[in-house]
Amino acid sequence: MNIVRMNIKAAAPRLSLLRAGLQESDAVLPMPIGLSRKICEGSVRALNQVLADTVTLRDLYKKHHWQVSGPTFFELRRLYDKHYAEQAALVDQVAQRIQLLGGVSVAMAADIAERTRIERPPAGREAIPVQLARLVSGHENLLCTCHKAARQAQDDGDDGTSDLLVSSVIRTNEFQVWFLVQHLVPEGDREGIVAVARAAGKGNLSE
Ligand SMILES: [Fe+2]
């Protein structure tokens, strides 16, 4: 009994230790990977934006997965969850790349909310066309950020970041957009839904 009590006491959080951070959120530590710290800092900054937007998009898929209704309920519910899982895998890859570069991955909901460029949806349920337009807009917003970041990483010689963005993040997001648009938009109405999606975005799509 005494031993159990002692162990619980030893495991109790020490507030002084919790306050002593190991690394500031914007600090980038040197890593022996053949890249200058300046280049790593640039890639970390860009990847944290990609991470914040990917987490937001991931959660938007789960919101829609829970809240979808209507005649295509079953199919859309499954599609949303499939895309959610793929975005969750990207979140892990991008976050790990940030740590590998010596940075600190943005992680908690409040920090993600401050940083993301994807528009905050209402807490309530939305109709299917609105759900789809919101997702397509979020994807295109993220893709614009990724294209820019991939070009910069390529110019900087950060091949790992460039490869991650092009081979994983961009390709996955493009594929998901294709499924949303191709699966659900009637023939001949594609321009309409793209226009609606862009109108729902935050305005960096023309960059
Ligand atoms: Fe579920």
Q: How far is the CA of 11 from the centre of ligand 1 (A)?
A: 35
Q: How far is the CA of 83 from the centre of ligand 1 (A)?
A: 12
**How is residue 117 annotated by DSSP?**
-
Q: How far is the CA of 40 from the centre of ligand 1 (A)?
A: 37
| pTM of the complete model | 0.85
Q: What is the rounded CA–CA span in Å between residue 154 and residue 70?
A: 45
Classify domain 33-200 at the CATH topology level: Ferritin (1.20.1260)
pLDDT value for 34: 97
Mean of pLDDT over the chain: 88
The model's confidence at residue 105, banded by pLDDT at 50, 70 and 90, is very high
Q: How far is the CA of 139 from the centre of ligand 1 (A)?
A: 21
Has residue 163 got a pLDDT over 90? yes
Burial of 35 (0-12, 13-18, 19+ CB in 10 A): buried
pLDDT value for 196: 63
Q: How far is the CA of 114 from the centre of ligand 1 (A)?
A: 27
What are the structural domain ranges in the chain?
A: 33-200
Least confident of 62-71, 156-165, 174-183: 174-183
What is the per-residue pLDDT across 8-52, written as a single tens digit (0 to 9) for each? Answer: 555 555 666 666 789 999 999 999 999 999 999 999 999 999 999
pLDDT value for 192: 65
